[in-house]
Amino acid sequence: MTLRASNSARNRLYNPNSVLSFEALPTLVTKNSGAAGIFVMRHCQEPMSKGKHYLYRDYSFLLSYEQKNLKKRLLFTMKRRSLRVKNPMSNDYFLEILRQRSQPQEKRFLFFGGIFTVISALLIVCDVLIGILNGVNVSKIPQTAIGRFEQFRTNPLLSLYNLDLLTVIIQIFLIPSYFALYIAQKEKIYSYSLFAFLIFFFGSILLVSNNVSLAMYELSIKYFSTNVVSEKLLYLAAGEALLSQGKHGSPAVFLGFFLPSIANLSMSIVMLKSDIFGKVNSWFGIIGALLLTIYVVFINFHFGFTETAAQFAVPGGLLSLLWMILYAIRLIKLSKDDNFVFEKYQGQ
């Protein structure tokens, strides 16, 4: 039986065991205002198989075939109970939900965001291991340009590490990760998720633009390649200027480290409110971000807590790392979950 876009047909849509023909769906869906229409329209554009049940929350839809005049027509049969919609939706309202349900490319962002998060987590582990193996202490790192040049000549990789090149790489890899978090939550908490992403993005720009590791490496090569005293003095002066701009633990790089920490805190709060990633994961991020923010403040403004700042950095870093791993797993799962949709309005 084919239903037409009439009041009686739309009323029958809410009754159990009603049968809908695909031929009637384009007209029916444009005028129907129910959740069933959303579900049916969503699957109209996807491959479907005979006899398979498609679940939508508490409702089950069975796809079957009807043979009439040697022409097959796809049919939906609604089972279990009738659909209940308290507040009918306008066409614009319905089309907005439909638009959110027909963007599979957004799920690809979730997958790649999860992959980039895993890569970033591995790089953070490498960062921690390098620091432990080399016994890196901020107070023991050369504080002058000539000291940095000497370190570049003896151990260029360690010198690049001391000037936060690895941190910059991690920050770049985390940008797609944060974009995926924004995509996953934007339809539930749009403003705050966008705010957290923008804070992280601008903080990353500041961190990358203020990093002087490669410039210092080039100056060190030039410094040791010349015997002219005036040129050496020029390179030393340029090196001191660069260190004042991008040395780890200096107020000049404060915003580049502080804003991403605030973004971590903001995104964790968004995750707590959206209830997509779980409360435990969200609290890991909140506590870790708070501890890292305290560390960044202490290490950059020299309040006399430089030696004890690691007491905040170690637990904060571990909690943030666990937070990243958990939400990376969740992002990858969401990207493969056919029942997860980017919906702004959730009907009962």
pLDDT digits (tens, 9 = 90+) for 275-293: 888 899 999 999 999 999 9
CA 111 to chain centre: 10
Per-residue pLDDT band for 195 (boundaries 50, 70, 90) equals: very high
pLDDT, average across residues 99-115? 74
Per-residue pLDDT band for 121 (boundaries 50, 70, 90) equals: very high
Q: How far apart are CA 180 and CA 311, in angstroms?
A: 31
Percent of the chain with pLDDT over 70: 63
Of the candidates 180, 157, 171, the one whose C-alpha atom is nearest the C-alpha of residue 123 is: 171
Q: How far apart are CA 64 and CA 344, in angstroms?
A: 31
Residue 338, pLDDT score: 63
CA distances from 64 to 19, 20, 53, 76, 233 (A): 10, 10, 10, 6, 83
Which has the minimum average pLDDT: 246-250, 259-263, 270-274? 246-250
Per-residue pLDDT band for 86 (boundaries 50, 70, 90) equals: very low
On the question of pLDDT at 38 being above 90, the answer is no
Per-residue pLDDT band for 66 (boundaries 50, 70, 90) equals: very low
Q: How far apart are CA 295 and CA 166, in angstroms?
A: 19
On the question of pLDDT at 345 being above 70, the answer is no
Residue 60, pLDDT score: 39
pLDDT, average across residues 223-227? 90
Does the pTM exceed 0.85?
Answer: no
Q: Which helix (H) or strand (E) holds 105?
A: helix 104-134
Residue 138, pLDDT score: 62
Q: In the chain, where are the structural domains located?
A: 109-344
Per-residue pLDDT band for 182 (boundaries 50, 70, 90) equals: very high
Residue 252, pLDDT score: 75
Q: Is 60 helix (H, G, I), strand (E, B) or coil?
A: strand
Q: Which helix (H) or strand (E) holds 79?
A: strand 71-79
Q: Could you tell me if 339 and 115 are in contact, meaning their C-beta atoms sit under 8 angstroms apart?
A: no
On the question of pLDDT at 78 being above 50, the answer is no
Tokens of 148: 């940095």
Residue 9, pLDDT score: 42
Q: Could you tell me if 185 and 344 are in contact, meaning their C-beta atoms sit under 8 angstroms apart?
A: no
On the question of pLDDT at 83 being above 70, the answer is no
pLDDT, average across residues 168-181? 94
Q: Could you tell me if 240 and 145 are in contact, meaning their C-beta atoms sit under 8 angstroms apart?
A: yes
Instruction: Give the mean pLDDT of the chain.
Output: 72
What does DSSP assign to residue 275? T
On the question of pLDDT at 200 being above 80, the answer is yes
Higher model confidence: residue 66 or residue 337? Answer: 337
pLDDT digits (tens, 9 = 90+) for 47-62: 444 444 444 333 334 4
